[in-house]
């Protein structure tokens, strides 16, 4: 195990290999094509191939094929083995010294307090998908959630199709505005319990590390803003996005938060990501 651990740490010691690994972790449990990895990280295909090969040999990344396409996913078994070796062997299981806040054991077996949770939805522009998600959780979750949304772009505006869909479903659009994620960082920002990315572009970016180690999820959806065709066809793309998000958020809001520990909640959030 010592040789495997040393090899894995060596592989992750390369800045760009580490960047590939971190992006795949942000997208987990989703899979990402080599082309998307190359575009998101600005790495040449040939160079990326060597990085992925090293990560796969270290059991930190897995590869699957669909037709002519290759997809990559964080290799959780190898990652867990690495973390176990670091914590149980190197740190001798000393949670009081080695765990991030030095007070919480790695198992995180205590249920989250069933109070009003702060939830943030992030997409690239905060013009459509994250706005739809914010409105849906505000309606379906009621007072149990304080809901926010933001975008990673410097500035944006609400998409009129998104606003139209929300209005047609009876949502109050008055409080909605496009915001940048920087509004929720620094002093005075809310401490989030849950942070969701709802577009691949936002998940691909290295967003701020959130205080309090919130449960995170990637609920990536195609961008309805990019839909082509007639006005009716474009509107239908937004209706579909709204429908998928409604299913996922209804499942999320129905979780028994007072009975689940953080690990169970994280697993539930990952499973909801597969809900269509």
The residues annotated as belonging to the active site are: 123, 199, 207
3-state secondary structure 89-152: HHCCCCHHHHCCCCCCCCCCCCECCCCCEEEEEEECCCCCHHHHHHHHHHHHHHHHEEEEEEEC
Residue pair 178/151 in contact (Cβ under 8 Å)? The answer is yes
CA distances from 242 to 8, 224, 238 (A): 41, 10, 6
What count of other Cβ atoms lies within 10 Å of the Cβ of residue 261?
13
Which two tokens mark 35? Answer: 């082309």
DSSP label at 154? S
How far is Cα of residue 271 from the mean position of the Cα atoms in its chain?
A: 12
Dig out the tokens for 72 from the structure.
């990559």
Contact call for residues 61 and 74 (beta carbons, < 8 A): yes
Judge contact between 61 and 11, C-beta under 8 A.
no
Given a contact cutoff of 8 angstroms between Cβ atoms, the answer to whether 160 and 131 are in contact is no
C-alpha 187: how far from its chain's center?
A: 23
How far apart CA 208 and CA 175 sit, in angstroms, is 25
């Amino acid at each position: 195990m010592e040789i495997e651990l040393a090899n894995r740490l060596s592989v992750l010691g390369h800045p760009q290999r580490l960047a590939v690994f971190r992006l795949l972790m942000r997208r987990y449990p989703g899979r990402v094509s080599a082309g998307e990895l190359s575009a998101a990280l600005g790495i040449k295909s040939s160079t990326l191939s060597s990085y992925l090969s090293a990560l796969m040999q270290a059991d930190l990344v897995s590869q699957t094929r669909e037709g002519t396409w290759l997809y990559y996913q964080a290799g959780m078994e190898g990652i867990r083995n690495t973390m176990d070796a670091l914590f149980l062997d190197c740190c001798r299981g000393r949670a009081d010294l080695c765990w991030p806040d030095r007070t919480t054991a790695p198992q995180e077996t205590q249920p989250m307090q069933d109070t009003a949770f702060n939830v943030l939805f992030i997409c690239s522009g905060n013009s459509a998908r994250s706005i739809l998600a914010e409105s849906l959780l505000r309606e379906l979750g009621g007072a149990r959630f304080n809901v926010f949304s933001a975008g990673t772009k410097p500035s944006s505006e609400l998409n009129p199709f998104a606003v139209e869909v929300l209005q047609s479903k009876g949502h109050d659009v008055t409080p909605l505005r496009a915001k940048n994620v920087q509004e929720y960082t620094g002093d005075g920002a809310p401490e989030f319990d849950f942070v969701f990315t709802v577009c691949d572009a936002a998940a691909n970016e290295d967003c701020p590390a959130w205080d309090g180690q919130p449960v995170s999820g990637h609920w990536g959806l195609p961008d309805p803003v990019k839909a082509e065709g007639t006005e009716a066809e474009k509107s239908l793309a937004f209706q579909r996005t709204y429908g998928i998000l409604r299913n996922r958020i209804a499942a999320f809001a129905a979780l028994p938060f007072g009975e689940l520990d953080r690990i169970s909640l994280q697993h539930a959030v990952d499973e909801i990501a597969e809900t269509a």
